[in-house]
Structure formats: C-alpha cells, structure tokens
C-alpha cells in the first residue's frame, strides 16, 4: 500500500467549501496513482471529496471512507452513530447518510468539538470527549455501532474500546473507517470488482481549460 499527499487544497476539510476546494487535487492524485499502477484508490477523508468524479475517471475501484464506513457500520448493527469532530458537520453527515441510502440507520451524529488539525495534540482530552459522546450515542440515541467521523482519528478506536468496556458497552463495535475501507478495497481487487460503468460512465472527451487532471 502506498500513500499520496494531495498537492493543492485546504489543510483540513471541515465544510462543504473545503470539500469543493479539495476536489481537484484529490482527483489529480487519484489519476496519478492509477497511472503509477495502483490496483485501487482510497480517498483519505470522511467527506469523500471527488469520489464520484474519480469513479468516472479511473478504471480501478475507488472508495471513500465516509460511504464505506457508514455501510460497514450499518452491516454490524441496526443503527449507528458518527463521532464527528465539529458540530457544524452534523448536517453534512446526515446528508451523506441520506445520499448513501442509510438515513434510517443513522441514529445520531455526536461531535467532540475538536478541529481536525488539533486531533493529534488533543491526546487524552480527545479520548475523554469521544468516550462521553460515544456513551451518550448508545444510551440516549439508540446507536448499536459507532463510526469514527474523521480519518484523522485513525487508531483511536483501540483507545476508545477500554473506556466503552468499562461503561458496560463491550458489545458495541467501533468502526475505524480508514483500515476498514482499505480492507474492502483489497477485497474488491481480489474479487475482480470495480464500480459499475452504468452508474459512473467515463466523462465525455472535451476541452478543460486550466485543469491539469483532464
């Protein structure tokens, strides 16, 4: 597995505006990855920027952890909750769940109120906030599965697990979207599957002014 850093766009994605500006750089990185021999592409953001565009442009499987993580969470229980970074993203996740056909499975979106760029330095305080919101999502909102709402939270499911066990919630799965999506991508490659060409037909050939990815 190889990683590629997007060369242009916002330093973090916390809004629809950020997501739109991240799209061109994400798409360019995806195209370059396929040209270099990638068997699949995983977009490292829960907002899934440029996901559908990349599926139209590429011939290999393209997955976003937002869509994949939500579907995996829905597979593991009747209802799931997203642990988001900021309250402003609540409507974004609700809209995404509806777009992915999972609105009825979304129990809630709970925010820890820590910006993306502060995740690494938040340390134990972040885990404490995640634990508080996770327990509330299960006991108050009826969630049976928890989904980390930012790919910057990678690895924190392991730190959240003991706190949930201590709260008597040892049977509640916590989906870490990045490793889960990578595994799904690997499975699609092994199965010889990719996105449907009827759902994501190649874009028509035309001039694109000032757009290097085209």
| Residue 2, domain member (yes or no) | no
Q: In this structure, is residue 204 part of a structural domain?
A: no
Residue 130 falls inside a structural domain? yes
What percent of the chain is modeled with pLDDT above 90?
88
pLDDT tens for each residue of 80-106: 999 999 999 999 999 999 999 999 999
Q: What is the DSSP code string of 47-74?
A: T-TTHHHHHHH-SS-EE-HHHHHHHHHH
> Does residue 47 sit within a domain?
no
DSSP 204: P
Residue 159 CB neighbour total at 10 angstroms: 16
Decide if 148 is inside a domain: yes
Radius of gyration of the chain (CA): 18
CA–CA dist 32, 56 (Å, integer): 15
CATH of the domain at 116: 3.40.50.12500
Domain span at residue 93 reads 66-177
Instruction: Please indicate, yes or no, if residue 1 is contained in any of the structural domains.
Output: no
Residue scoring higher pLDDT (56 or 208): 56
pTM of the model: 0.93
pLDDT tens-digit readout, 118-176: 998 988 899 999 999 999 999 999 999 999 999 999 999 999 999 999 999 999 999 99
Q: Number of structural domains, the chain? A: 1
Distance (Å, rounded) from C-alpha 88 to C-alpha 92? 8
- pLDDT(214) > 70: no
Judge whether 88 lies within some domain: yes
Specify if 15 maps to a domain. Answer: no
């Amino acid at each position: 597995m190889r990683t590629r850093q997007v060369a242009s766009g916002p330093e973090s994605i916390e809004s629809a505006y950020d997501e739109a500006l991240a799209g061109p750089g994400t798409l360019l990185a995806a195209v370059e990855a396929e040209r270099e021999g990638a068997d699949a592409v995983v977009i490292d953001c829960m907002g899934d920027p440029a996901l559908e565009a990349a599926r139209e442009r590429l011939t290999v499987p393209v997955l976003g952890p937002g869509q994949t993580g939500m579907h995996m969470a829905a597979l593991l229980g009747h209802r799931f909750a997203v642990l988001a970074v900021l309250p402003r993203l609540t409507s974004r996740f609700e809209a995404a769940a509806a777009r992915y056909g999972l609105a009825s499975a979304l129990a809630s979106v709970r925010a820890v109120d820590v910006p993306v760029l502060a995740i690494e330095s938040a340390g134990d305080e972040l885990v404490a906030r995640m634990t508080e919101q996770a327990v509330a999502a299960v006991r108050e909102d009826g969630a049976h599965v928890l989904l980390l709402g930012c790919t910057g939270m990678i690895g924190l499911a392991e730190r959240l697990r003991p706190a949930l066990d201590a709260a008597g919630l040892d049977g509640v799965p916590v989906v870490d979207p990045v490793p889960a999506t990578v595994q799904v991508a690997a499975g699609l490659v092994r199965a010889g599957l990719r996105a449907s060409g009827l759902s994501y037909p190649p874009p028509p050939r035309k001039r694109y002014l000032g757009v290097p990815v085209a």
